[in-house]
Structure formats: structure tokens, C-alpha cells
A and B are shown apart, each in its own frame.
Chain A
Amino acid sequence: MTSIVTLDSKCVPSEDVVAREIEGELVIVPLTSGIGDMEDELYTLNDSGKAIWDRLDGKRSLSNIVNELIAEYDVDRNEIEVDVIGLVNELLKRKMLLLNE
């Protein structure tokens, strides 16, 4: 998949979704039509996805987020960068995130 973001990008959750934490899991519920593939489905993020989502505040760059995750978890930088870029691209494609340019 071609990336539409770089490590300098900043992203913020769309106001057209509601993110709910239920018993430790993050569930993303589309609010308006046109979010996700179908209007009647929910999305959940795995633990890595949730750790990234929690930091997508429109202020931190993806690079900042990568650094924070490296500091918090014992993981390889390249691996984390791929994870962050991969998730952000996917959420942007589903209109669950917006680029905060």
C-alpha cells in the first residue's frame, strides 16, 4: 500500500467516529455515514493499535509517537515505524483519522 503519511505527519481522530474503551479494548464506532466499509459495523484495535491511537492527538508527529513507544516498550525502531505508518494509513483510508497539517 502506498503511504499517504510520513513520520512528520500529525493526525487526529475524526469527529465522525466514536472511540470507546470497553474493558481495556478500544472499539471504534462510526457516527456518520461513509466511515469504514459498511455503516453497520464496528472496529476494534489490538493492543498495539490502541497504544498508537491513544497518542494520535493532532499535536504529536508520528515520529514523536514512535519515540514514545520505543521508550515504553522494548521494540525495534523499524518495526514500530512500520506499525505506526501502517495503522495510520489504514485509519486514514477508512476516514477514521484526519491529517492535521
Chain B
Amino acid sequence: MSEYVRKETQLPKPIKSHIYQLDIELTERCNNNCIHCCINLPENDDISFHKEMTTDQIKEYLLQAASLGCMAVRFTGGEPLLRNDFEEIYIFTRKLGMKVLIFTNARLITKSFTELLVKIPPMIPIEITVYGMHQSSYEAITRSPGSFNQFWRGVDLLLEHKIPFIVKSAILPSNKKELIEFETWAKTLPGNNSNPGYAMFFDLRNRRDDETKNSLIKKLRITPDEGMEILSRDKENYLHTMKQFSQKFIGPVGDQLFACGAGQSLCIDAYGRFQPCMGLRDPELVHKLGTTLADSLVKFKQLKEIRATNPEYLSRCAHCFIKGLCEQCPAKSWAEYGTLDTPVEYLCEIAHTQAYYLGLLSSGEKGWLINPEEFQERIDRVVNG
């Protein structure tokens, strides 16, 4: 490499782009009907289809993103490949000089699409969710006959054309016993060097749109103890990771509601509404079609100023020193209760189970009842222990 040209694996630090990544949910429709999904609508949902952004609207947002220095676009859904204009959108994005990340179930990957990916690589490995290693386990989750064979055909095409992809999964009753089989297979795939990621503490419907589905999702959630068992299967690695994590992220966050990364990047839903994160669908916080990305970025930055007001949140979450272990956030609170600051009991239990395992808390103790001097001592003990 000469003094003139520098190779970068990501955008160099001196360049401060306004947004590094844009997430676009191209559709909420999906060709799977997964039992645990928090967003999917049927593939043939006409109402949703007709409300979706047009190709030109999507291109307009991509142009805006590029002008804000965006370097990567994640296309998700629903199943993004359901859109007939996906290839056109993909090429348009890449020609703007942005990398592309595709979240897909791989069922609609065709020979011609893989040939396009060979010619114009996405520059980020595709991410594929694998619902099971066998037709029975896979289709018990997707509830879509034939989906297993289509998934395999898509994976085979990617392998044949040497398109980089990584696999991940969701832990559910029908595939729970296949974890080792899945991980063994994943390790044989090029580029899948670390353990796959799993969804297991499922979110309720993001739009609070289906009580029946929510009841099913609640039944499918694994218990915090089962989750702990899975998280700590590789005990040494888990403890090593969590020590580093504890050093950086453990401690109470106070009443600031958006202590997360919401608003740092931007998400656009299938209908052209801007959201501060992919999960947060509270109509009060999304910006309608026609707003510019730049305007929304400015407005979303103000989210950092919002304070929690729910007394229960203020007495628990605001003081809880294990908040870093907890997935409690405005998006999850809204999906569960329709408010931004109600403690989500399931997430609280998961965080406490982890804290008990790590020795940050003794059995039965609550994170919000430990005083600052004491919790710092406990963190130091875990980090240095």
C-alpha cells in the first residue's frame, strides 16, 4: 500500500459521516409464518402490499442516506426478497457506493440473483436465519410447507457461487435439541468462524397488532434458567466475555430513557416512516413519509433528553446496577405494555439470572437495592476474579 492510497476495512475515524448505517425494512410480508415472529404479515397481505414504499421512494431515501455519508444499508423485512424490485434497489444502493447487508430466509435466492451477487458483491456477508436442521423441525416453526427445501436450495446456490454468508437461528421447542448439529454444520461453512447468534428471548409483536400471536410468543419464550444454560454452554468464553462487558457497561443509567443507541442511526419501516430503532413502533415517535432523513436525525437526537416518569421504572430500573445485562428499553416496553417506561418483568428476570450466575448478586437480591459503593466492589470482584 502506497502513501497515496489507504485500504480501510471500515470508514476511517477522521471521516465523520452523519449516519454510518441505514436500516430499511422493505416489507412486513413474509413467505414464512414463523410462530415466534414479532413483525411478519402474510405474503399475500394486499393491504400491507399497497401501503409499501414504491421503488422511487426507496431510491429517494437511499440518495439522501448517501448524501449524509451513509456507508452501509441493511435490507430486512419481513422477507426483503419478496419485493419484485429488490434487485433494482440492490444495484442502485451499490452504485451509490454503499455496502449492503441482506437479512433473508434464503428461500427466494435464485441462480440469477447469485450471479448478480458475484458480479456486484454486497461487501457484507448475507445473514440467513436457519429454523431447523430437518424439515420437520424447520417447518414446525415456519408453518410453510416446502420452505425447508427452498431454504437449502438458496444456501446451496450461495455456496456454489462462493457468496459470503453467515447463519443464525432462533431457539424454539422444535429445534432446541438440534443446537449441536446446527453449530457443527455452521462451522463447515466458509466465514462462519465464531458461534452463530441466536434469538431466544422473543419480543412481542412490535406493532401490538395481534393478541393471539402474543399469547403464543409468550408460551414459546424459554425460561431465564434455560436461557442461562444456553448462554453459558461455553462457560470459559462466556465468563471471559462478561468480565469485559461488566467492566464497561455495568452500572445504573438513571432516568434517561434512551440510554441506548436509538437515533444514532436510522431505520425506515416498510411504509416509509422513520424510526429511531428497528423495534420501536410507537406512533408518537415515528416520523411520517415526507420527512427527510436529515430532519429525522436531528429530531431523534433529542430522544436522549427524554426522562422516564413511571414511578416503578424510577424506583427499579433507574437505580439498577445490572441494567447493562437487561434488554429493557423503550421499544420492548412499548411492545409489552404500550408505554415507554414500564419494567418488562421477563427481561428483568433474565438479567437477574445472569447476575446470579456471574456472582454480581446473591440469589434473591435485586439489582436496584444495592448501594453504589457495594455494587462497584462487586463489579471489581467479578472483573478481577
A23 and B6 form a contact (CB under 8 A) = no
Which residues of chain A in 50-85 are interfacial with respect to chain B, using CB atoms and an 8 Å cutoff?
52, 83
Bound: A39/B7 CA distance, A: 11
B residues less than 8 Å from A25 (CB atoms): 12, 14-15
B369 at the interface (CB under 8 A from A): no
Interface string of A35-60 (1 = CB under 8 A from B): 01101111111101100100000000
A41 and B121 form a contact (CB under 8 A) = no
B66 and A20 form a contact (CB under 8 A) = yes
B5 and A49 form a contact (CB under 8 A) = yes
Nearest residue in B to A44 (C-beta to C-beta)? Answer: B6
B2 and A23 form a contact (CB under 8 A) = no
B356 to chain A, nearest CB (A): 41
Nearest residue in A to B117 (C-beta to C-beta)? Answer: A33
B123 at the interface (CB under 8 A from A): yes
B residues less than 8 Å from A42 (CB atoms): 7-11, 71
Interface string of A79-101 (1 = CB under 8 A from B): 00001001100110010000000
B residues less than 8 Å from A90 (CB atoms): 2, 4-5
Which of A27, A28, A30, A52 counts the most B-chain CB atoms under 10 A from its CB? A27
Bound: A93/B252 CA distance, A: 53
Which residues of chain B in 90-136 are interfacial with respect to chain A, using CB atoms and an 8 Å cutoff?
94-99, 118-121, 123-124
Bound: A86/B57 CA distance, A: 43
A31 and B95 form a contact (CB under 8 A) = yes
A7 at the interface (CB under 8 A from B): no
A11 at the interface (CB under 8 A from B): no
Contact of A43 among B5, B17, B123 (CB under 8 A): B5
B254 at the interface (CB under 8 A from A): no
B123 and A40 form a contact (CB under 8 A) = yes
B95 and A27 form a contact (CB under 8 A) = no
B residues less than 8 Å from A22 (CB atoms): 11, 15, 17, 69
B3 and A41 form a contact (CB under 8 A) = no
A31 and B94 form a contact (CB under 8 A) = yes
Ordered by A's residue number, 25 sampled pairs between the chains whose C-beta atoms are within 8 Å are A18-B94, A18-B96, A18-B97, A19-B97, A20-B97, A22-B11, A23-B15, A23-B16, A27-B71, A28-B5, A29-B98, A30-B123, A31-B120, A39-B123, A40-B121, A40-B164, A41-B9, A42-B7, A42-B10, A44-B6, A44-B15, A45-B6, A49-B5, A86-B2, A94-B5
What 10 pairs between A and B have smallest CB-CB spacing? A18-B97, A49-B4, A29-B97, A87-B4, A22-B69, A20-B97, A42-B8, A25-B15, A39-B121, A44-B6
Chain B contacts to A: CB under 8 angstroms: 2-12, 14-17, 66, 69, 71, 94-99, 118-121, 123-124, 164
